[in-house]
Chains A and B, each alone.
Chain A
Amino acid sequence: KQEVTQIPAALSVPEGENLVLNCSFTDSAIYNLQWFRQDPGKGLTSLLLIQSSQREQTSGRLNASLDKSSGRSTLYIAASQPGDSATYLCAVRGGSNYQLIWGAGTKLIIKP
């Protein structure tokens, strides 16, 4: 059974720092991996989608990598800003019904 883990559960860093969020999964047979951002009480915003055949995707200050063999993905945020404060969730598409299997999220706080 596929399990997705995100460590750490919470992270607080000063503004301007580069940071890495981690996502690991137990079964390498995935179709894609998606990173989302969620602000408190709001919906989810899709940040990046990485197909199983890809190694990384970039959007602005965000870069996501995927290493299927080791069951890992990282989300790199460059030059962090207070507006980046949110909960970041990763989800892999796989499992018995090919739907998204979610990590519990990392709550990120960027201190001004």
Chain B
Amino acid sequence: DTEVTQTPKHLVMGMTNKKSLKCEQHMGHRAMYWYKQKAKKPPELMFVYSYEKLSINESVPSRFSPECPNSSLLNLHLHALQPEDSALYLCASSQDNSLGGQREQFFGPGTRLTVL
């Protein structure tokens, strides 16, 4: 099973709302990632969790707050977003984030976020 699942598929929120995106994988992967993708652009890395610890934060604004409750789950908490944050948010996982080995990344279907 090489599946990464994400919920919800679509989300519309106002600038004062608080919402969360969820990601789950059952491949035993110990690295999980959040990406943001704008239309016709490649994904931009936001956060990397390695063994449930935040290892990379690509200078993402604090209105985005990641959480890794366990090795299978990854959340992205959203608060006070701006309209320019509207994008496709993708979750990915890999065996781990070390330099050796395959480290193939598997992506979920994404959450289409619209901020009004």
Contact = CB atoms under 8 A, between A and B. Distances in A.
B78 to A, nearest CB: 19
A103 B40 CA distance: 11
A102 B56 contact: no
A42 B112 CA distance: 9
Measured as residues with beta carbon below 8 angstroms from the partner, the interface class of chain B is 20 to 34
Interface residues of A, number: 23
A105 B103 CA distance: 21
B109 A42 contact: yes
Interface of B: 4, 6, 41-43, 45, 48, 56, 88, 90, 92, 97, 99, 102-110, 112
Interface of A: 31-32, 34, 36, 41-46, 49, 51, 89, 91, 93, 97-100, 102-105
Given A45-B107, A49-B104, 20 more contacts: A31-B99, A31-B103, A32-B102, A41-B88, A41-B112, A43-B4, A43-B6, A43-B107, A44-B90, A44-B107, A46-B104, A49-B102, A89-B42, A97-B56, A98-B97, A98-B99, A99-B56, A100-B105, A103-B42, A104-B41
